[in-house]
Amino acid sequence: MKYKNLILLFTFFAVLTACQSSEDNSYPVLEEEQPASLPYTSDEDIQAFYDRGATDEQVHVNGEVIKNLRDDLEGSRHQKFILELASGQTVLISHNIDLAPRIDLLEEGDEVDIYGVYEWNERGGVIHWTHHDPDGDHIGGWIMHENKKYEYLID
């Protein structure tokens, strides 16, 4: 009986210690990877995608908004803006606002992180799929602006 109580007491403290050590309240726990944990696609890679006319390339880029464009309201609605990378290359961002929130406070000069799909066009390329895929057939993307992640609409 004495050993049984010791084993029970030991087990209790082991479980309590494990729970305390695994708790980390320094940041909210998300179901997906934190944006900072994804490697950035280099500007050289983006240039290589452009040079070879690449399509369907999953990318993670950071840049400065240099031009807000009018929303495209035909068919699926998209917020559009031009992003300049550190290299000076520009890409069009086409963010589906039927599937993700519009970034209403986005201004020229703002820095954003974008995870989406690069498609070639003659002007430098376009990045889309900056939102979740409701059908689950595609890797979900997002845009980080001022520490807020824009990826899906909440019902």
For residue 12, being part of any structural domain is answered with no
Residue 10 has pLDDT above 80, yes or no: no
Instruction: Specify the higher pLDDT residue, 153 or 66.
Output: 66
For residue 72, being part of any structural domain is answered with yes
What confidence tens digit (pLDDT) does each residue in 73-112 have? 999 999 999 999 999 999 999 999 999 999 999 999 999 9
pLDDT bin (cut points 50, 70, 90) of residue 37 is low
- Among 29, 38, 153, which residue's Cα sits nearest to residue 100? 153
Number of domains in the chain: 1
Distance CA 116, CA 131 (A): 8
For residue 144, being part of any structural domain is answered with yes
Residues 148, 149, 152: CA angle, nearest 5 degrees: 135
For residue 106, being part of any structural domain is answered with yes
Residue pair 66/93 in contact by the 8 Å Cβ criterion:
no
pLDDT bin (cut points 50, 70, 90) of residue 12 is very low
For residue 122, being part of any structural domain is answered with yes
Instruction: Specify the higher pLDDT residue, 35 or 130.
Output: 130
Q: What is the pTM of this model?
A: 0.75
* Least confident range of 14-28, 78-92, 140-154: 14-28
Q: What pLDDT was estimated at residue 153?
A: 79
Average model confidence (pLDDT) across the chain: 82
Domain containing residue 62: 38-150
